[in-house]
Amino acid sequence: MKSSGKFYALKIINKEKSDVPAQKKYTVTEKKILKMISHQFIVNLFIHFETKSYLFLLLEHLPGRDLAAYLDEEGSFSEAKARFYLCECIAAINALHKKGIIYRDLKPNNIMLDGKGHVKLIDFNLSKAGFNKFNLRTKSF
């Protein structure tokens, strides 16, 4: 934004192209989960709004690339760097679990790095929420 000098990312989801009912559910799930959680290792949602055709998510801008791009560039990470990223991912997943959220799409492409080199989990459309009890199970694969 010009006035603050801050950058944001705008994720635009075309609801009309989501003919599959499951895809519409995933879109709603992502918005719901991002509204529920605030954590240093999870992308921040600032605002959301929608029209008849589109859902807009105004997210934190992450100037780094995803972990897959860094792996391609470096070939492999040192044990210390891998441990650093892993610990931050575990902290993020722990925060999600405390809120009853199951993150089901953990892969290098969904782990972004912020401007300071810290992990930020993204892409929550396959996640499941509402699992605050230990005996609940998902009914999907």
The answer for residues whose C-beta is within 8 angstroms of residue 67's C-beta and 6 or more apart is: 85, 108, 109, 111, 112, 113, 119
Q: For the stretch 41-78, what's the b/e string if a residue is b when 16 or more beta carbons lie within 10 angstroms of its beta carbon?
A: bbbbbeebeeeeeebebebbebebebbeebeeeeeeee
**Catalytic-residue membership of 105:** yes
Which listed residue (66, 72, 105, 123) is catalytic? 105
Active site amino acids: 105
